[in-house]
Amino acid sequence: MRRACLAFSLVLAACGGGSSDDDAPVDAPEATVDAPDGWQTLLQGNWSLEAGEEGYYCVYATVPRDIYIKAFRPIGPNGTHHTVLTRHTGNEPDGTVRCGVGTNGQSMVYGSGVGSPDFRFPEGVGMHFTAGTRLLLNLHLYNTTDEVLTGTSGTLFEETQAADIEHVGEIVLAGPTATLTVPTGTSTQSGTCNVSNITNQPIQVFALSQHMHKLGRNLRTVVRRSGSADIVLQDTAYDFENQTFSLVPTPFVELRPGDVITTSCTFENNTGATVTFGESSDDEMCFSDLFYYPAQGANFVCSNFF
């Protein structure tokens, strides 16, 4: 039976209760995290993990009114590996359920990792959710302790006026997926994304981030355009404990259909075994996180491995 949510003055709230695809109950305590001054709660969910357990919880919520957003702040207590916030078109009831890594909507509007700070959109750019928009927050959780760990994870936002949002943003993750293989030692693995798979019109990249797991050391993102010199979007050291978006200096970087994004990740694998792509923090990923406008409703993963 679904537990009652303690919504108070929150715009949206989702609490423990309900069941997942395999009908596993959510056994998290009922709790909420109060938003600090100037912030409002978009959605949040309670979770509980046994000692050493890794898993996923999904928070479903329906936006009750039009909102315009100029900043996001993650609610990410100990045990929160990352969050993925997507627009969702399913008919699941609002609430929190156990789920899997692939339980997401199509287009991504925000995400956070370990140590992610506030994200503030540049002037004129932001997020707009109309009344009735369905949102899905996928929580990747990992309890590395030897005791039961509980928490409340979610997303806060700062609201603004419609006149302040000229462009609505969206995120795509560009890089290799299922065939990513990281041998022992130091190596660099690459994958491509054709911008034509994202859009049929130019888009403006206004923020960048990186996503790897514990073996990641550096990430380089290069755009190749026919007849032009390569564009280096980022070439930066990677810190699993400090995952953040960085704004691109204006003018923003324009990507065009036909451009090819290459993501190259350098790993240092001292585990003694080959590590492959996977959802666990003990597996690996290699993604350039591109925040751009105008939103296309695109699939948020773009991958053409080579």
- What is the spatial distance between Cα 106 and Cα 172, in angstroms, rounded to a whole number? 10
Phi, psi of 197, rounded to the nearest 5 degrees = -75, -15
Higher-confidence residue of 224 and 35: namely 224
Q: Quick check: 11 pLDDT over 80?
A: no
Q: For 210-230, what is the mean pLDDT? A: 95
pLDDT of residue 32: 76
Q: What is the pLDDT of residue 6?
A: 28
Identify which of 126, 142, 2 has the alpha carbon closest to the alpha carbon of residue 71: 126
pLDDT-based confidence at 22, cuts 50/70/90? very low
Q: Please report the pLDDT score of residue 305 as a whole number.
A: 52
Summarised one tens digit per residue, pLDDT across range 106-130 is 999 999 988 889 999 999 999 999 9
Q: Is residue 8's pLDDT more than 50?
A: no
Structure tokens belonging to residue 229: 């010199």
Sole residue written with tokens 């990410």:
76
Which residues, at least 6 apart from 162, have a Cβ–Cβ distance to it below 8 Å? 66, 68, 128
Task: Write the pLDDT tens digit of every residue in 245-282.
Answer: 999 998 999 999 999 999 999 999 999 999 999 888 88
Q: Are 172 and 208 in contact (CB under 8 A)?
A: no
Sketch out the chain's domains with CATH numbers.
40-167 (2.60.120.310), 172-305 (2.60.120.230)
The SS3 assignment for 172 reads strand
Q: Are strands 203-211 and 253-255 parallel, antiparallel or unpaired?
A: antiparallel
Residue 195's φ and ψ, nearest 5 degrees, are -60, -25
User: What confidence tens digit (pLDDT) does each residue in 50-95 have?
Assistant: 999 999 999 999 999 999 999 999 999 999 988 999 999 988 999 9
d(CA 302, CA 172): 7
Residue 175 has a pLDDT of 96
Mean pLDDT over 213-224 rounds to 97
Specify the pLDDT at position 119.
96
What is the structure's pLDDT at 120?
97
What is the average pLDDT across 176-187?
95
Q: Distances in Å between the alpha carbon of 269 and those of 206, 261, 283?
A: 32, 25, 11
